[in-house]
Structure 1
Amino acid sequence: MKNFLLLLFLVSTNATLNSCIDSKTKKAGTIPKVEDFNMVNVKNEFQILIPKDLGKTTGLNADASLQYQNIYQEAYIIVIDEQIGAYIDTFKELDLYNSDKSFIENYRETQLQLLAERIRILKQTEATFTTINNLEASQLSIDAKVDGIEETLSYFLTFVEGKQKVYLVMCWTTSSKKEEHRATFETISNSFKLLE
């Protein structure tokens, strides 16, 4: 029995070390392969590609409908969804909704303001507008300092306007791994699809 437990320990340790080594030898700019992802269905509402080497978690954000991470690769992904009507009503009541801007612009600006209350944004790219699976979307990235974390973090944000809900796909990593994970994070965000 002891030999079996020792063998089990050695096998699991080897798998963990290989995972760490693989993540350290992954080259920046490597184009991810489709077979490296699983399509995840969330509440029969939407689906999104998630790398196979990320595990489901619950500790990243209490409001998130999807949370995955790989602490060895320093890769984290969440999706937050909100009702569009409730958001518009609330922000119009507070006189904070700008009717001269699109809904997605209003939502993006509000989320960035909320984020800036919790982190110190050092650098932010210009937001781009795109279509993801026939849905209006806006994307940008930011580098920021977070209290208690020594290294700068890099966030990749995608805001997707659905029929009744708006979705925030947030991927992040340390700045030193930003280029290593960029293509993977783009694949994740651009795979978002509502289920009919």
Structure 2
Amino acid sequence: MEISNFIKQYIKNPKTVGAIAPSSEKLAYKMVEDINFFNASCIVEYGPGTGIFTEKILNKKKDETIFIAIEYNPDFYKILKDKFKGETNFILINDSAENLKEYLTKYNIDKVDYIVSGLPFASLPDAMSKKILSITKEILKDKGEFITFQYTLFKMKLFKMYFNKIKRKKVLLNLPPTYVLMCKNLNQNTK
């Protein structure tokens, strides 16, 4: 069911979906393994798709931690809304990550501890990628972390424009194999 949804959405929206299959359990584990769930007060997820990372975060976060997931695709949004209804401190938004600051203001959130991203930066328009990364850098706490995965390292130069410390892990057990990038916003003046 999830694979057929992904294929259908990829065919309809290849620039915003970016994958023909949902992420593997191994990738989901790698995406959340470095999050300090005990100390996190706010976690954001860009592009949760059908919710494999979302589920891992919801299972590990503290009840009082605010978790915001922002999904652009209306079909995926509906799946997520049904799948995770009734979750504590979980805010699901059907919009672009470009507009996240509006929602942080609405919910009186100043800064974010972690941003987990499933966005396909390799296929997003360059201006959109830059806007999302600029907002990401701005809203992360000083020791906050942006965690994303990419199928190639094609966009590393772009990520380095916003983050000066990037660790990467290769995940072979995913279709296709991918890289998890853990990006730190250590220098507020880096652009």
Structure with bigger gyration radius: 1
When the two structures are superposed, what TM-score results if normalisation uses the length of structure 1?
Answer: 0.30
Higher strand share: 1
Give the structure, 1 or 2, with the largest relative contact order (CA under 8 Å, sep 6 or more): 1
